[in-house]
């Protein structure tokens, strides 16, 4: 059973919102990832995240995050160091909040003890297939930061 997962979240059709998925795609293309780590692109997330956490001890998430920082800023933090302030309309099953999923995972007893989040402050979140220039420029640096966390080779 895999004990470590790396999960990229986001929607590639929503510009910077897709940064988590873009980083995973780049990382898998440019680095050798150790066989004990499962790297997953889970798109907009939700319950598939919960399934991916089953039996996992260490989870690393990469996601677009509004953190009150300058666009393009990458912050590495542990899940317990942040709390969600996301407003959800609760009209559809399509919206989601990773922190809510983690709370659910806790309540059903399948939440890893060790959760690290790489949040990237977006510049633009609107319909479009390209990252904003600010994030596109820094994509290699984001990939390196996540790779360093995994100790993986180029």
Partner 1 sequence: MSKTVDIKVHHVTRVEGHGNIRVRAKDGAIEKLEWQVPEAPRFFEAMVRGRKYEDIQTIVSRICGICSVTHSLAAIKAIERAMDTPVTDQTDRLRILAHYGEQLESHILHVGYLVAPDLLGQKSVVPVASSHPEVVQTVITLHRLGNTMMEVLTGRKTHPVRLVPGGFSMLPSAKELRALKQELVDSVPKLTALAEVIASLAGGIPSFTRETEYVALVNEPHYPFYHGQVGSTDISELASVQDFEDIVNEYVIPQSTAKWAKWHREAYMVGSLARFNLNAEFLAPLAKQTAAMLGLEKGCYNPYMNSVVQVVESVQVVERSIELIDEILTVGLRVERPDVKIRAGVGAAAVEAPRGILFHRYEFDDKGECVSANMTIPTNQNHGNIQKDFEALVPTIIDRPQDEIRQVMEMLVRAYDPCISCSTHYLDVEFV
User: Is there binding between residue 92 and partner 1 (CB under 8 A)?
Assistant: yes
Residue whose pair of structure tokens reads 């407003």 in the numeric block: 87
Residue whose pair of structure tokens reads 């990939």 in the numeric block: 143
**Choice from 35, 36, 127, 151 touching partner 1 (CB under 8 A):** 127
**Choice from 33, 67, 145, 150 touching partner 1 (CB under 8 A):** 67
Task: Report, in Å, the least distance between residue 109 CB and partner 1.
Answer: 9
Interface segment toward partner 1; rule CB under 8 A; list 27-35, 58-66, 133-141, 143-151:
58-66
User: Is there binding between residue 39 and partner 1 (CB under 8 A)?
Assistant: no
* End-to-end Cα separation, the chain, in angstroms: 25
User: Is there binding between residue 141 and partner 1 (CB under 8 A)?
Assistant: no
With CB under 8 A, what is the number of residues at the site for partner 1? 59
How many Å apart are CA 40 and CA 38, to the nearest integer? Answer: 6
15 Rama sector, left if φ>0, alpha if ψ -120 to 50, beta otherwise: left
Closest CA to 32 of 141, 149, 139, 152: 152
DSSP line for 10-27: --TTBGGGGHHHHHHHHH
User: Is there binding between residue 123 and partner 1 (CB under 8 A)?
Assistant: no
User: Is there binding between residue 38 and partner 1 (CB under 8 A)?
Assistant: no
**Choice from 43, 123, 134, 145 touching partner 1 (CB under 8 A):** 43
User: Is there binding between residue 112 and partner 1 (CB under 8 A)?
Assistant: no
């Amino acid at each position: 059973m895999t004990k470590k997962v790396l999960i990229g979240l986001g929607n590639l059709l929503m510009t910077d919102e897709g940064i988590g998925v873009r980083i995973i795609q780049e990382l898998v293309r440019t680095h050798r990832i150790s066989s004990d780590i499962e790297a997953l692109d889970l798109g907009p997330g939700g319950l598939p995240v919960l399934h991916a956490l089953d039996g996992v001890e260490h989870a690393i998430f990469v996601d677009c995050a509004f953190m009150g920082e300058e666009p393009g800023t990458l912050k590495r933090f542990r899940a317990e160091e942040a709390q969600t302030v996301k407003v959800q309309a609760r009209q559809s099953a399509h919206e989601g909040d990773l922190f809510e999923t983690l709370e659910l995972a806790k309540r059903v007893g399948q939440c890893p003890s060790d959760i690290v989040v790489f949040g990237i402050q977006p510049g633009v979140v609107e319909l479009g297939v390209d990252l904003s220039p600010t994030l596109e420029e820094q994509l290699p640096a984001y990939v390196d930061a996540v790779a360093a966390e995994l100790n993986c080779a180029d």
